[in-house]
């Protein structure tokens, strides 16, 4: 039986709880639950030592992704965000193979060759995510960005956040069809509207899992998919294991057919 790799965004355990416990506390939880990757969250760091966490994750056979709230493109600036190099360095210090950032304000005036020169200096894959903003959460700017990425042959892929499209009333299915070939990492979250009208991330139901399986058909077989919705309960290992298993099996029949 083929299982696809599953990552856990540590924000899933609740911002306050993660800051209180420290991100290293969750390494053994993820390993025991069968996860393949751990997604460190820059905004939740307190006093953690990157080298210690990187080594502890490697000892548990967990690969690392580093998530930064940084926007790649700043309004009115041709070059990439001046804080990008610092984020690449931090990702490397955490032993991460990938750095996840948001798109920001992309225009035809942005200097992609300059970005390419910077990325060539670091052994870290840049992943650009659709966020919940008007400028970084719609399909069309990503189409233009990845057209430019292809023209300049840059080593940049997309983090496809399934739930975030809803904040700008965009179709995840349309986004997957148009952008799926650029995707290197998938953030999974179901979305519900609270009584006050606010959208919030929630764990998936069967309908959500079925939709996600359809979206994954537009992406590379066996792509890493990440939990980014609330994982809160008395037994975090068991709860995490259940969701790792559910996500790992998405697209399984497709994988088994490919290996038949």
**What residues make up the domain containing 63?**
6-259
Q: What integer is the mean pLDDT of 31-53?
A: 97
Distance between CA atoms of residues 227 and 35, nearest Å = 10
| Residue 23 counted as domain residue | yes
Can you give the pLDDT at residue 252?
A: 72
| Residue 200 counted as domain residue | yes
Can you give the pLDDT at residue 78?
A: 97
| Residue 41 counted as domain residue | yes
Distance between CA atoms of residues 21 and 122, nearest Å = 30
Global pTM exceeds 0.85: yes
Strand ranges for the chain from DSSP E: 6-9, 37-41, 63-73, 96-104, 125-129, 156-161, 183-188, 190-193, 199-202, 225-227
Q: Does 234 score more than 50 pLDDT?
A: yes
Q: What integer is the mean pLDDT of 92-120?
A: 98
| Residue 1 counted as domain residue | no
| Residue 21 counted as domain residue | yes
| Residue 176 counted as domain residue | yes
The string of pLDDT tens digits covering residues 133-148 is 999 999 999 999 999 9
CATH of the domain at 248: 3.20.20.150
- List the beta bridge partners of residue 9: 39
The string of pLDDT tens digits covering residues 47-81 is 999 999 999 999 999 999 999 999 999 999 999 99
Count of domains forming the chain: 1
Q: What integer is the mean pLDDT of 151-172?
A: 98
Kindly report the average pLDDT of the chain as a whole number: 95
| Residue 135 counted as domain residue | yes
| Residue 173 counted as domain residue | yes
């Amino acid at each position: 039986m083929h299982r696809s790799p599953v990552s856990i965004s540590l924000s899933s355990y609740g911002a306050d709880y993660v800051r209180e416990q420290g991100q290293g506390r969750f390494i053994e939880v993820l390993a025991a639950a069968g996860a393949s990757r751990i997604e460190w969250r820059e905004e939740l760091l307190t006093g953690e030592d990157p080298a210690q966490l990187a080594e502890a994750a490697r000892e548990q056979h967990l690969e690392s992704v580093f998530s930064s709230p940084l926007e790649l493109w700043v309004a009115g600036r041709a070059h990439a965000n001046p804080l990008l190099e610092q984020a690449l360095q931090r990702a490397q210090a955490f032993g991460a193979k990938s750095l996840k950032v948001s798109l920001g304000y992309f225009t035809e005036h942005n200097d992609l060759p300059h970005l390419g020169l910077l990325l060539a200096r670091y052994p870290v894959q840049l992943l650009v995510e659709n966020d919940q903003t008007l400028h970084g959460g719609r399909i069309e700017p990503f189409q233009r960005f990845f057209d430019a990425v292809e023209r300049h042959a840059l080593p940049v892929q997309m983090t496809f956040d399934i739930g975030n499209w809803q904040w700008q009333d965009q179709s995840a299915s349309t986004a997957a069809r148009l952008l799926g070939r650029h995707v290197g990492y998938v953030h999974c979250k179901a979305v519900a509207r609270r009584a006050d009208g606010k959208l919030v991330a929630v764990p998936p139901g069967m309908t959500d899992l079925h939709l996600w399986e359809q979206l994954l058909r537009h992406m590379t077989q066996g792509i890493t998919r990440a939990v980014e919705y609330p994982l809160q309960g008395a037994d975090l290992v068991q709860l995490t294991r259940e969701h790792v298993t559910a996500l790992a099996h998405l697209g399984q029949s497709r994988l088994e057919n490919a290996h038949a």
